Amino acid sequence: MTKTLIFGHKSPDTDTICSALVYADLKNALGVDAKPARLGEVNAETQFALDHFGAEAPEYVERVDDEIDNVILVDHNEFQQSVDNISDVRITEVIDHHKVSNFETKEPLYFRAEPVGCTATILNKIFKENEVIVSKENAGLMLSAIISDSLLLKSPTCTAEDREAAHELAEIAGVDLETYGLEMLKAGADLSDQTALDLVTMDAKEFTMGDANVQIAQVNAVDTNQVYASQDSIEKEIEKLINDKNLDLFLFVVTDILENDSDVLAMGQAKDNVEKAFDVKLDDRNRALLKGVVSRKKQIVTNLSEQF
């Protein structure tokens, strides 16, 4: 039988992990031999969601094995965010909500990207289109993904479709949206156990902007000052990454989930572009407060890309 592997991006977030789990389950219900996978560590927020709904994290894979015939990408399409040997495998589907870039196939495929706030919102539609019942566990996982990507429906990336799906799924999952949502976000924002290296790599994505290599890492926090208490160690880790990966810019984004602002740290030779993109001045520690900015995709990547 044809074996299909389903996974999201590197430095997995809650949408990536939950969408891989849920879509594999849906594919199984449709008679496809599909298995979820992950390309990195499960973060504290995602672990909280998995525990709450009694789900297990998918298996970690370093590369796609020979016994796999097809892969399905969820929550990403850019090859640099995917598994290392992505160019050598047959991609049969993509379900995503990001811009399309650095992606190509040799053959036609099912590629479904929609400008919504979360992959799970699209998956919820696919359940309906295929008339498959959403289990309590799957509803909880999809709900967690939407809460995570939309910062409890507050991000500018959140659409009416995401909101509607979230309310519907909260009902099936049997939780109160606000209460569960804040609990989950706080679990992710508890950074006390994280090393400086964890902080700059736990949710980091690479982008090619113009000719420049840009990495943007984001963490959610209840108290941004607490994160920057270890700014010296954070800077050392970022310097290493800039050298190792030949980055032109590393932007470290600490998002305050209660205030819905971001306190960012910019390093690398192209850091001036951050000042131009957001019309701010970096202070003497290379930091700036971006008022009302919470979305990497819609507010940071879009503005920053234009400067390169």
Q: Is 60 a residue that touches its own copies (CB under 8 A)?
A: no
> Minimal CA–CA distance to 253: which of 308, 207, 187?
207
Say how far apart CA 191 and CA 124 lie, in whole Å: 31
Scanning 26-34, 36-44, 74-82, 156-164 for contacts with Mn ion by CB under 5 A, the matching segment is: 74-82
Of its own copies, Mn ion, none, which one does residue 225 interact with (CB within 5 to 8 Å by kind)?
A: none
Q: Is 96 a residue that touches Mn ion (CB under 5 A)?
A: no
> Minimal CA–CA distance to 235: which of 188, 301, 284?
284
Contact criterion met (CB below 8 Å) for 212 and 204: no
Q: What are the Cα distances from residue 32, in Å, to 1, 117, 141, 180?
A: 9, 27, 21, 32
Q: Provide the β-strand partners of residue 60.
A: 38
Measured from the CB atom, the residue of 265 and 293 that comes closer to Mn ion is 293
Of Mn ion, its own copies, none, which one does residue 104 interact with (CB within 5 to 8 Å by kind)?
A: its own copies
Supply the minimum distance, in Å, between the C-beta of residue 45 and Mn ion.
13
Q: Is 237 a residue that touches Mn ion (CB under 5 A)?
A: no
Through-space distance between the first and last CA atoms of the chain, rounded to whole angstroms: 47
Q: Is 87 a residue that touches its own copies (CB under 8 A)?
A: no
Measured from the CB atom, the residue of 201 and 215 that comes closer to its own copies is 215
Measured from the CB atom, the residue of 72 and 241 that comes closer to its own copies is 72
Q: Is 52 annotated as a binding residue?
A: no
Q: What b-and-e string marks burial along 213-241, b requiring 16 or more CB atoms within 10 Å of the CB?
A: bbbbbbbbbeebeebbebeeebbebbeeb
Measured from the CB atom, the residue of 204 and 274 that comes closer to Mn ion is 204
Supply the minimum distance, in Å, between the C-beta of residue 105 and its own copies.
5
Instruction: Report the run of H or E that residue 160 belongs to, with start and end.
Output: helix 160-173
Q: Is 15 annotated as a binding residue?
A: yes
Residues 106-135 that bind Mn ion (CB under 5 A): 119
Supply the minimum distance, in Å, between the C-beta of residue 114 and its own copies.
5
Question: Between 114 and 133, how does the x/- string for binding to its own copies read (CB under 8 A)?
Answer: xx------------------
In this chain, which of 12, 15, 42, 103 binds Mn ion, going by CB under 5 A? 15
Supply the minimum distance, in Å, between the C-beta of residue 163 and its own copies.
17
Instruction: Report the run of H or E that residue 94 belongs to, with start and end.
Output: strand 91-96
Q: Is 190 annotated as a binding residue?
A: no
Scanning 18-26, 113-121, 184-192, 277-285 for contacts with its own copies by CB under 8 A, the matching segment is: 113-121
Say how far apart CA 218 and CA 45 lie, in whole Å: 13
In this chain, which of 90, 271, 287, 297 binds its own copies, going by CB under 8 A? 297
Token pair listed for 302: 């879009």
Say how far apart CA 186 and CA 164 lie, in whole Å: 23
Instruction: Report the run of H or E that residue 261 belongs to, with start and end.
Output: strand 261-267
Contact criterion met (CB below 8 Å) for 176 and 170: yes
Supply the minimum distance, in Å, between the C-beta of residue 121 and its own copies.
12
Which residues fall in the annotated binding site for Mn(2+)? 9, 13, 15, 75, 97, 149
Which residues fall in the annotated binding site? 9, 13, 15, 75, 97, 149
Binding stretches for its own copies (CB under 8 A): 97-115, 297-298, 302, 305-306
